Structure 1
Amino acid sequence: MSRSTTPKPGISRGTHTIPVTHDGATVEQRYHVAGTGPVCVVHPGGPGIGWDYLRMPALEEHLTMVYVEPVGTGSSGRLADPRGYDLATYTHFLHAVVEHLDLPDVMMLGHSHGGFVAQRYALDHPDRVASLILYDTSPVTDGDFWPTAVAGMERFARRHAVDHPEVARYVAGLTGRSAPSDDEGATQVLRLITPAYFHDYWGREDEFAAGRQALHMYAAPAWGEGPAFDVRAELPGLAAPTLVLVGDDDFICGPRWARMIHEAVPGSRLAVLDRTGHLGHIESPVQHAAAVRGFVTAVTGPAA
């Protein structure tokens, strides 16, 4: 990092709300601050999943985590036109949070779809990103991305069909066939297919069941319209130190896509978490935190 990301006094723990102008309207953007140390701005996935699934207590011991609650979810504001929930919109609201923090630059972590946002933001605002953690994400959602994810879900369903017959509904849940138009229905679908996002959900169900039932999904962000995501040609110009972090058994944004980012971004690090799905901070928190801490130490020095 070329400049300090030590928190300013104004970055206080707790929940904060800022007004953001978007398409001529004022929309509330909420974010949550926890932990101590250099500032790391965190964008969750989805689009449309409630931010708190991405809470990372192990990292809060070393970093000030600024968790963005994306527009269209939770207590953040809603867009008048749900077609507006696209990558440009999320990047716009993320920039508003970064500007409000009033730091010269920040560490940024994006998970899954939040990794799309983080990549786009780092490419558009290179002077504001001191370092970047791309966690279980991809540089592209081309014609091969979704068929590969569906094939991974189908393999998961075949493996578990005998002991857990409900997995027969998982592929339809992933692909949005008969997708619910309300938040309650979207949440039910997310909770239904959650085991597929773990390497060994049922083997450790006592650890993960409560978190599964706490998940929330908001329907409107799924209606966003925008161009296909593909930053592969731009990534070689990404100058920020970058960690690419992935679970080895992540069916949707797995090692294939992580290596694609790693090979494109000059000097990036790749960390593959063993026996881990799409939620390594929950399933393998020690491995996950060690990978991030090693990266932060390499970038900021041992005192981070």
Structure 2
Amino acid sequence: MSTSSVSGDGPVRGTGPLAPGVHTYRVEGLVQRYHVHGSGPVCVALPGGPGIFWEYLRTPLLEEHLTMVYVEPIGTADDSRLPSHPHGYTRERYSLFLEILIHRLGLARVHLLGHSHGAFVAAYHAVHRPEQVAGVVLYEGAPVTGPEHAAEAGRMVEAFAARHAGHPGLPAVMAAFGAMSGMTNDEQTEAVAKGVLPSYFADYWGDEERYAPFRDAVRASYISGLDEDLTPDVVDDRTALKGLTVPALVVVGRHDVICGIRWGRELDELIPDARLLVLEDSGHMGHVEEPEAFADGVRDFVLGRAVSARP
């Protein structure tokens, strides 16, 4: 049995599941939260990580045209953790919780927007539960994880280091990357997330005054990426995406070091009739770096228009 509540600080559209504010309910003893902002067609947004809290993904320019439902995935807050925490957070489990959330919204279908790890979850949901998906935005995703993805990320991080050789902030960024494999708790995960963040922007140090508050606000929880039996939840969607039946928009920053342009192009080639939006002056955080171009592309896709082109 589940219970729900809602609170908000803006104009309230009643107290239903899409009223502005924070919504909570229980599923299998876990608290599931989501946050509603804006008005218009519904777009459900899935953050990255896994384990990064939702706030960094909030996009006010989209909220001017869409009802944005920002999901707080299970495992992030203390009251939403599985008995097997930090293990057990597979894409199938995230998708099952997403299925319940969409049913609770009272809508037959919604648009999904998944960023980074959220893009892997959104792709999985669109493939396995397409009846719930009107369209999917794969924002800084990839068709695979594992050694091939890690090797490409390593190459891109090396290129980042070469571009910024001699910068006083570079050693701390590289140390944070080195600490990734040793993370075992929330504090370490948040420190690593903040530590690597300059590399996730096209030019963090060129506009640090603008981006530093974003970096400081990032919150993160440690999630292992392993199932309960400690097997990795490895992704290889290349075959499945060739049969994707829902409309798809692929968004990628030209300078992304983690899920970069190689993967954006491959997703675009794999998915039938996909649209590709390249943010030329962005890294992994295009909604912050090029907010207008990002919002225009996503809005036009959700509203059924031709996606705004960028040179």
- Fold match by TM threshold 0.5: yes
Match of 1:16 in 2: 23
Which of 210, 213, 218 is residue 207 of structure 1 equivalent to? 210
Q: SS of the residue aligned with 2:119?
A: helix
Shifted more, 65-74 versus 181-190: the winner is 181-190
Match of 1:116 in 2: 120
Alignment of 1:1-304 (within 5 A): 9-21=16-28, 26-74=29-77, 77-81=80-84, 82-164=86-168, 166-174=169-177, 176-177=179-180, 179-222=182-225, 224=227, 225-298=231-304
Shifted more, 259-268 versus 57-66: the winner is 259-268
**Structure 2 unaligned spans of 5+:** 1-12, 307-311
Q: Shift in Å at residue 223 of structure 1?
A: 5.2
Q: Shift in Å at residue 221 of structure 1?
A: 4.4
Cα gap change, 1:83 to 1:206, in 2 (>3 Å): same
Q: SS of the residue aligned with 1:234?
A: helix
Q: Shift in Å at residue 174 of structure 1?
A: 3.0
Aligned-pair identity in percent equals 44
Provide the alpha-carbon RMSD of the alignment.
2.1
Q: SS of the residue aligned with 1:271?
A: strand
Q: Shift in Å at residue 150 of structure 1?
A: 1.5
Shifted more, 9-18 versus 189-198: the winner is 9-18
Q: How far apart are the structure 2 equivalents of 1:171 and 1:223?
A: 25
Contact map agreement 2:226 2:233 (CA 8 A) in 1: no
Q: Give the total of aligned pairs.
A: 290
Contact map agreement 2:114 2:120 (CA 8 A) in 1: yes
The code of the aligned residue for 1:12 comes to A
**Deviation string, structure 1 residues 21-57 (Cα, Å, up to 9, x no partner):** 2xxxx21111100000000011001011111110011
Contact map agreement 2:38 2:63 (CA 8 A) in 1: yes
Match of 1:4 in 2: none
The code of the aligned residue for 1:99 comes to H
Q: How far apart are the structure 1 equivalents of 2:32 and 2:224?
A: 15
Q: How far apart are the structure 2 equivalents of 1:54 and 1:72?
A: 17
Q: Shift in Å at residue 209 of structure 1?
A: 0.6
Shifted more, 189-198 versus 217-226: the winner is 217-226
**Structure 1 unaligned spans of 5+:** 1-6
TM-score (norm 1): 0.89
Runs of 4+ residues deviating >6 angstroms: none
Cα gap change, 1:75 to 1:60, in 2 (>3 Å): farther
Contact map agreement 2:46 2:71 (CA 8 A) in 1: yes
The code of the aligned residue for 2:104 comes to H
Contact map agreement 1:69 1:76 (CA 8 A) in 2: no
Q: How far apart are the structure 1 equivalents of 2:213 and 2:26?
A: 33
